[in-house]
Structure 1
């Protein structure tokens, strides 16, 4: 879409185009569920379709990360299909239909945005969040600020959301810099469980020999304490991300991708030499890793300069 064709922000879709397209899509989904439709679609239930909903959501996240509009558009369609299919399944079971879903969502958006559709005021995103939480708490008659958080959220993302909800009612460190003192405290407590003298050994992070494979911890009680302390460290890390307005789940996903790219560089370079990673020594792999890292940073710097010129 060119800038000339782009509508003003807040403009709804063209009804003359959207309505027939959406009607056709709903008809296709309904046909798939009909007696002469698709055997796979007919046998699905709200329970059986859950893994596909989760998978499509993650595929959408990957598409957004890629920045490829065609991929984002396609994956949004797949997520929309999950909504339509779930709604059609519920309608076939006599529970509710897509009209109920849409009407309920419309009401909720209006009620929870009184600063847009009513007489309330909310000058900042923080004001909006607090107001949203108050309205939601009243609607749901929830006893805890944590009620309603999906149990299936990835643990790191949930840690940030749990701390955020506590922070919204005032339970938070007054200054975000204090979290680093808390991180040191938690790391010290982890070290006390990991090492006999409670001190982290002063071992330089150099790659100069084979990997030492340590045996698992034999004492299950000690293992449980270590796991607990490590969890506390990760919880503080999630809080540091939150207070600096970084999504910890996204940050970790990016680090995962970064490591994978650089390790795949090692694999590629070794294949060019007619070798396999399993035959390479750790120092050899580390040299290639740093080589790939340097190339990547040079390319990123070049790309930034190109963007600045444009």
Structure 2
């Protein structure tokens, strides 16, 4: 479609759909939508999808838009046939989910109204930038990368807790809180001319494309294991191309990770180059061997050392069962909390003090809580 052939329907659409002339409008050819996995525009702006000629194209576009917009999102459908154009106003996106047949020679132009204020990433960046501006919030303005370190850690753990509980409402909220931390750090860096949010996104996007040649290129890789092996090879090649000093395979595992997570990450990386047993039987044997060495340890120093080895061996067993050791232990911690709270609750209701209760008395309530799960 040329600019000349676009001007007439665009003028009609502006008039028939009552589009404001002072608001941004994204214009996207249907070819850019068909086959895409996510919408390519800012949902805070109105968007016009042009050149829809088949039912399959319309169905594909509606399916893609439904990932970004609610079913009651206002849309306006314009049908161009020969030299005439008709308009259907007051439609909702959900009205078009079943698609509709198009006559030969018909072309559809679908206008989707902007989403509610604050629903786009760009608008969110503006909110954060405003908070950091001279007329913004005193607290936000004084934050630094270091002062926000604990906030980032806290939000990450709260997000994990929501995931562990499979609480979708909490996950949505905590992902937002986590996103706030990332955008805030990017804004601080942008103000210092260090890097921008766009730099962050471009960097990770390029990395993902570069390290997935089996998806975005011609490389053929079979199975998850070979994907991970190829990933490590690509990382090494990137370092060589960038003149970065060569790192060991385990150097990429942050030392600040929780110990169980760090242990499992170390084991995963070593396994990628074949440093692993061929079956699970030796893994079980190693756990029993380390347990026996704990029993034989004679001094506090030896006991601590052997317990560390035992924990490392148990983490490896978790890895073989494809269980995240950190999540498994966190789940057990939560279970212990629930059951102990049940003991405390019943102690209070019977007027007893925990310090005066026997283990047998507490076990009754413990088993009661266990039976309720």
TM score, norm. by length of structure 2? 0.67
Match of 1:130 among 209, 229, 233: 229
- Does 1:47 find its partner at 2:146? yes
Superposed counterparts of 1:100-115, under 5 Å: 100-115=199-214
Give CA-to-partner distance per residue, 1:234-279, whole Å, 9 cap, x none: 0000000001100000000011111111111111222221223233
Superposed counterparts of 1:208-223, under 5 Å: 222-223=299-300
Rounded Cα–Cα distance in structure 1 between residues aligned with 2:37 and 2:334 = 36
Gaps of 5+ in 2: 1-33, 46-118, 241-245
Match of 1:187 among 291, 294, 304: 291
User: Shift of the alpha carbon at 1:192?
Assistant: 1.4
1:258 matched to which residue of 2? Answer: 335
2:217 matched to which residue of 1? Answer: 118
Does structure 1 conserve the Cα–Cα contact (< 8 Å) formed by 2:164 and 2:327? no
1:57 matched to which residue of 2? Answer: 156
- Does 1:238 find its partner at 2:264? no
1:73 matched to which residue of 2? Answer: 172
> What secondary structure does 2:120 align onto?
helix
Rounded Cα–Cα distance in structure 1 between residues aligned with 2:217 and 2:328 = 37
Aligned residues: 262
Match of 2:248 among 144, 147, 159: 144
> What secondary structure does 2:164 align onto?
helix
Match of 1:15 among 29, 34, 41: 41
User: Shift of the alpha carbon at 1:121?
Assistant: 1.4
Cα distance change, pair 9–44 in 1 and its aligned pair in 2 (3 A)? farther
Please say which of residues 112-121 and 141-150 is displaced more in the overlay: 141-150
* Higher share of residues assigned strand: 2
> What secondary structure does 2:317 align onto?
helix
Cα distance change, pair 9–252 in 1 and its aligned pair in 2 (3 A)? farther
Does structure 1 conserve the Cα–Cα contact (< 8 Å) formed by 2:42 and 2:122? no
Please say which of residues 101-110 and 140-149 is displaced more in the overlay: 140-149
Match of 2:301 among 209, 221, 224: 224
Match of 1:168 among 263, 272, 275: 272
2:184 matched to which residue of 1? Answer: 85
Rounded Cα–Cα distance in structure 2 between residues aligned with 1:79 and 1:295 = 34
Gaps of 5+ in 1: 1-7, 195-221, 297-310
Match of 2:350 among 261, 264, 273: 273
Rounded Cα–Cα distance in structure 1 between residues aligned with 2:159 and 2:362 = 33
Rounded Cα–Cα distance in structure 2 between residues aligned with 1:127 and 1:243 = 17
* Higher share of residues assigned helix: 1
User: Shift of the alpha carbon at 1:14?
Assistant: 6.7
Rounded Cα–Cα distance in structure 1 between residues aligned with 2:344 and 2:35 = 46
User: Shift of the alpha carbon at 1:49?
Assistant: 1.1
Rounded Cα–Cα distance in structure 1 between residues aligned with 2:360 and 2:189 = 58
Rounded Cα–Cα distance in structure 1 between residues aligned with 2:358 and 2:212 = 59
Bigger relative contact order, structure 1 or 2 (CA pairs below 8 A, ≥6 apart): 1
Rounded Cα–Cα distance in structure 2 between residues aligned with 1:256 and 1:14 = 43
Give CA-to-partner distance per residue, 1:143-162, whole Å, 9 cap, x none: 31101111111001111111
